[in-house]
Structure 1
Amino acid sequence: MTPMATGSLRASAVLAAFFGLTVPLMPVQAILLRVSDRAARRFPHWYHRQVCRLLGVKLNIEGSVAKGAPVLLVCNHTSWLDIPVLSALAPVSFVAKLEVGSWPFVSALARLQRSVFVDRTRRLAAGDAANAITMRLQQGDTIVLFPEGTSSDGNRVLPFKTSLFGAVAGATVPAAEQVVVQTAAVVYTHMHGVPVTRAERPRIGWYGDMEMTSHAWGVLKSGAITVTIKVGPPVPLTDFKDRKDLALKSERAIRRDVLAILRGRPDGDELVPVEPSEEARRTKVAAPVRKSDKWT
């Protein structure tokens, strides 16, 4: 059997197993959402660990997500694989762009995991997102934010969009003293146990105008993948002056951690500059500070 045929056979088997696992469990989660917040929070965590096993994704985790406090988990974004990977890391929900809510099947999974959908084209919609995030943080949830605003090829960290922290700024005012911020650097490091090179890493990354189904099929054909997730220490939200300070320091931390992981991979030393983007650096010296830009 040719390698191509073997890969297609593997992808077909994994896909069948995925739907065989997922479809029967969707009504289970729907019931849990009605009867038990705690179970509804933890069940997707267990489910995504099984999904990672099915996909052949091995997790190498450094650090841990804080327990017993509401957490804003700030992450770089490379692939659709980030969703099961981060969900296998801890019980989390995602801040997602509004379009995800209209994707067939994916939208149902996102809603079952209590994702918060944000319409980035309407400034007034930020208030609704802030209210949703406020409620979730007050319940002690862990909310994942991808501040790049899109996904990359995995060889770089894109500039953080400070505007994406805006809803968080408005949301966390009532509970700022309890909320902690953590970063999570996600890097796909190996395929079949062999270090992934700079040229090969975009095979895992889902970015630009890539069509999701064809990309997912290619990943399923590829076989075993190892991902390293480096989780930063918890920092009280009140330690940041405002959303721009939060964006600046989070981007710097993730760039540093991504670079540290890539240094163990081919070409890693040249991929990700440690200094954050110009957008995150920019501040308006004389600009008035809005109440929603401050944590307290």
Structure 2
Amino acid sequence: MIAKIRIFLALGFVAAGSLVLVPLQILSMKTGWWPETFILKIWHRLIIRALGMRIHVKGALSDKRPLLVASNHISWTDIMVLGSMVDVKFIARADMEGWPLIGMLSKLQRTVFIERERKRSSGDQANEIASRMAKGDAMVLFAEGSTGDGNIVLPFKSTLFGAASMAISEGAAEQVFIQPVAIAYTRLHGVPLGRRHRPLAAWIGDEDLMPHLKVLLAEGALDVEVHFGEPIAFSKGSNRKETSKLMESQVRAMMQAALADPRPSR
């Protein structure tokens, strides 16, 4: 009963907040009166509060541009976590575009939707990402191409780094900075999550969104750590596969460090 009340109140909180924030975001996009990410950060923080999540940060988003952020991916909540803290735009899988509310808000923050199974469209998508980076947007790439279970980092797909190569080859930039970022869900109600229970936070494969949302709302009080690594310069002579492996190893090391010694809840 308590869980149902928590879910009802949290959804009402998000719905009420969205009724105010969505028109403001549309106004921002049309007028440019304030940065587009300003309202979005408030909306992401609203979602984080409704979910009862506590965020712990190590390091910071690089101020170097053009910037591609290479992160692991555990859940749809990763977007809320990162979006609540830093001024970034996202690269997301195409089916998210049709999701209730989240799909709409994704469009309102100019998310680039990619169809990873359609090779014919990959060039246009990479070109769009490259163009956005060249204009100064920090773009978040979930480089595994899928979501993990919260225990391990899946192999990074080097093809997803094609936007960095295209930005250089098209003359939009002489080099692109790529920054590794690790996300780890570490505690539930202050108790460290073990290997068996970490998948609670994970949203894997074709799992429906609403059942997972209800589980998170019912549980609440999740701690998540975000570790920012040092950016590297990717230039014309850089090897995309080697860069992908380097980012993967750095993200894996940061994630394992967070899981091995999680920060205390506050």
Return the letter of the residue paired with 2:249. R
Partner of 1:48: 44
Structure 1 residues 258 and 164: CA distance shift in structure 2, 3 A:
same
Per-residue deviation, 1:18: 0.8
Matched, 1:105 2:66: no
Return the letter of the residue paired with 1:214. P
* Aligned equivalent of 1:206, options 196, 203, 210: 203
Partner of 1:144: 140
Q: Are the equivalent residues in 2 in contact too, given 1:44–1:91 (CA < 8 A)?
A: no
How many residues were matched structurally?
261
Q: How do residues 1-296 of structure 1 correspond to structure 2 at under 5 angstroms?
A: 5-36=1-32, 39-67=35-63, 69-173=65-169, 174-177=171-174, 179-238=176-235, 241-264=238-261
Identity of aligned residues (%): 35
Q: Deviation string for 1:172-219 (max 9, x for gaps)?
A: 432443531111100001111111111111111110342210011001
| Runs of at least 5 residues in structure 2 that lack an aligned partner in the other structure | none
Q: Are the equivalent residues in 2 in contact too, given 1:176–1:237 (CA < 8 A)?
A: no
Structure 1 residues 140 and 98: CA distance shift in structure 2, 3 A:
same
Q: Please give the alpha-carbon distance, in whole angstroms, between the structure 2 residues aligned to 1:194 and 1:26.
A: 36
After TM superposition, the runs of 4+ consecutive aligned structure 1 residues lying more than 6 A away are none
Q: Deviation string for 1:86-108 (max 9, x for gaps)?
A: 11121111111111122233221
Structure 1 residues 101 and 209: CA distance shift in structure 2, 3 A:
closer
Structure 1 residues 236 and 46: CA distance shift in structure 2, 3 A:
farther
Q: Please give the alpha-carbon distance, in whole angstroms, between the structure 2 residues aligned to 1:244 and 1:131.
A: 19
Higher relative contact order (CA 8 A, sep 6+): 2
Per-residue deviation, 1:16: 0.8
Structure 1 residues 161 and 110: CA distance shift in structure 2, 3 A:
same
Give the number of the structure whose alpha-carbon radius of gyration is greater: 1
Shifted more, 226-235 versus 45-54: the winner is 45-54
Return the letter of the residue paired with 2:57. I
Per-residue deviation, 1:37: 7.8
| Runs of at least 5 residues in structure 1 that lack an aligned partner in the other structure | 266-296
Q: Please give the alpha-carbon distance, in whole angstroms, between the structure 2 residues aligned to 1:196 and 1:30.
A: 39
Q: Please give the alpha-carbon distance, in whole angstroms, between the structure 1 residues aligned to 2:245 and 2:223.
A: 29
